[in-house]
Amino acid sequence: MPNWYYDKKDLRNTPSARDGVDYETERRYRREGARFIMEAGASMSLGHNTVATGVVYFHRFYMFHSFRTFPRFVTASCCLFLAGKVEETPKKCKDIIKTARGLLSDEKFQSFGDDPKEEVMTLERILLQTIKFDLQVEHPYSFLVKYAKCLKGDSAKLQKMVQMAWNFVNDSLSTTVSIQWEPEIIAVALIYLASKLSKFTVVDWVGKKPEHLKWWDMFVQDVTMEILEEICHQVLDLYQPSQAESAPSKSPPQLPPSKASPPMKRANISPITSKNSPNIAVKTPLPPMPPTEVVEANPIPKHITTENPHYPYPPYPMPPMPPQAHGPPPPYVTMPPVMPPQPPAGWTHYSHPNANKYYPPGPPPGRNPYYPPQ
Residues 123, 51, single domain; the answer is yes
Q: Give the model confidence (pLDDT) of 248-286 as tens digits.
A: 545 454 554 443 344 444 443 333 333 333 333 334 444
Residues 154, 96, single domain; the answer is no
CB-based contact 46:91 (threshold 8 Å): yes
**What per-residue confidence (pLDDT) applies to 356?**
53
pTM: 0.67
Residue type, position 272, single letter = I
Q: Give the model confidence (pLDDT) of 96-130 as tens digits.
A: 999 999 999 999 999 999 999 999 999 999 999 99
Query: What are the residues whose beta carbons fall under 8 Å from the beta carbon of 24, sequence distance 6 or more?
Result: 242, 244
Domain assignment of residue 319, yes or no: no
pLDDT classification of 309: cutoffs 50, 70, 90: very low
Residues 126, 149, single domain; the answer is no
Cα separation of 283 and 273, whole Å?
16
* Domain membership of residue 196 as a residue range: 140-237
Which of 112, 131, 150 terminates a domain? The answer is 131
CB-based contact 56:179 (threshold 8 Å): yes
**What per-residue confidence (pLDDT) applies to 180?**
96
**What per-residue confidence (pLDDT) applies to 81?**
97
Q: What is the mean pLDDT of the chain?
A: 78
Q: Give the model confidence (pLDDT) of 327-372 as tens digits.
A: 555 555 555 556 666 666 666 555 655 555 555 555 555 555 555 5
Residues 118, 231, single domain; the answer is no
Which of 131, 148, 169 terminates a domain? The answer is 131
Domain assignment of residue 232, yes or no: yes
Residues 25, 109, single domain; the answer is yes
**What per-residue confidence (pLDDT) applies to 241?**
75
pLDDT for 207 beyond 80: yes
Domain assignment of residue 109, yes or no: yes
Q: Which CATH number goes with the domain that contains 42?
A: 1.10.472.10
Cα separation of 235 and 161, whole Å?
16
pLDDT classification of 33: cutoffs 50, 70, 90: very high
Residues 165, 104, single domain; the answer is no
Residues 160, 75, single domain; the answer is no
354 or 213, greater pLDDT? 213
Into how many domains does the chain fold?
2
